[in-house]
Amino acid sequence: MFIVKSYLLAVVLCFITMLCWGSWGNTQKLAARSWRYELFYWDYVIGMVLFSLIIAFTLGSFGSEGRPFLEDISQASAQSIGWILLGALVFNVSNILLSASTSIAGMSVAFPLGVGLALVVGVLNNIIFHPKGTENIPLLFMGVALVVAAIICNGIASGKVSNEQKNPAQNRKGILLAVAAGLIMSFFSALVYNGVDLDNFAAPAPGKCTPYTAIVVFSIGVFLSNFIVNTLVMKHPFVGEPVTYRQYFHEGDAKTHLVGMLGGAIWCLGTALNYISAGMAGASVSYALGQGAPMIAAIWGVFIWKEFKGAKKGVYGLLAAMFCLFVAGLALIIVSGN
C-alpha cells in the first residue's frame, strides 16, 4: 500500500485535504437549485462509500509495504471497528448540521464558523488522545489562536450582512447550526484514530487498521447511520416542509444524483489523504491543516457565489483579515509539527 515517508509530502497531502474539505460544499450549492440538502446528502454518502472502495483497492492494496486492504480488514478487531464506526456516527450528525447551516447561511458563514470551531476543539482533542507530532505545542496553540481570530472576523462580517440580503432570524439559525456542527465534529477524528495504528502503517499492531481500511469502515458507518440521522432530518427539517424517499427516487435526475456523489467523493479523497498523512505529520497537525478548509470555502462563497454581495462597509476588510489570519495560523501549525 502507499505510505507517506516524508513530512513535506504529508503537508502537501494535508493541503489537498484542505482543498477537498473546503470545496465539496460547491456540489451542494449546485444541487440546491432544484434539490433539498436532505436529499443531496444521500447521494453524498453514497459517493463517499464508492470512492472509499476505489482508494482501498488501489492505493490501499498495491505495493509491497503494509497489509493490503482485504487482509487488513479481515484481521481488524471489533474494538477498532467500533471506534471508527462511532467516529462515523459523530461525523454524520455534525456534517448534516453543517449542510443545514450551508443551505441557510451560505458557505462563507457555515464553513468558517463550523469547521473553524471543529479545528480548534479537535486539535485539543487530538493533542490529548494522540499526541504524536505535537512536540512544539506553543507554536501549535499560536496557530490555532490565529484561526480563532479568523473565525471571529468571519462572525462579525456575517453579522454586518444587510437585512435585505439575508433574513436575520434565518441567518442566526444558520450560525447556531454551524456552531453545533463544529463542536460535535471536533471529536470524530480522535475517535477514528483510536482504531488506527498511527505509529506504524507498514506493520500495524494486530487488530488495528490501516488508514485505507479506516476510510472504508468510516464511509460505511456514515451510510448506515444516515438511515437514522438523515431520516429524522427529512421528517423534521430545520427549514421548509418535510421531504420523502419518494421524492429522492422520483424527482432527482441522473445529473443531480451524480453531483451529490461527486461531493461525497471529493470529501472522501480529502479524508483518506488526511488519514494517510497522519502517520508522518501526527494526528493534531494533519487534522489542523485539513481543517483549514474554511478559508477555501470562504473564498468560494465570497468570490464565486457572491454570498456577501451588497454587504455593509467594512465587511470585505474583515474578510480580508480573516484570510490573512488563516494563512498565518496554518503556517504556524505546519512549523509546529516539523
Q: Three cell numbers at 18? A: 484542505
Q: Which residues pair with 196 in a beta bridge?
A: 209
**Per-residue pLDDT, 157:** 79
Burial class of residue 235 in the structure, from the number of CB atoms within 10 Å of its CB (0-12 exposed, 13-18 middle, 19+ buried): exposed
pTM here is 0.86
Q: Which helix (H) or strand (E) holds 96?
A: helix 78-105
Record the cell numbers describing residue 229, joined without a space.
440521522
Contact (CB, 8 A) for 222 and 45: yes
338 residues of the chain, pLDDT tens digit each:
899 999 999 999 999 999 998 898 889 888 877 789 899 999 999 999 999 999 999 999 998 888 999 999 999 999 999 999 999 999 999 989 988 887 787 766 777 788 778 888 888 888 888 876 556 888 888 988 898 888 788 777 766 764 445 566 777 888 899 999 999 999 999 999 999 998 899 899 999 999 999 999 999 999 999 999 999 999 999 888 999 999 999 988 999 999 999 999 999 999 999 999 998 988 888 888 887 777 787 778 777 777 777 777 788 888 889 889 988 988 898 888 76
State residue 164's pLDDT score.
44
Nearest partner of 91 among 60, 132, 45, judged by Cα: 45
- Residue 223 in contact with residue 49, Cβ under 8 Å? yes
Q: What is the pLDDT, as a whole number, of residue 163?
A: 44
pLDDT of residue 74: 96
* Distance separating alpha carbons of residues 4 and 9, to the nearest angstrom: 7
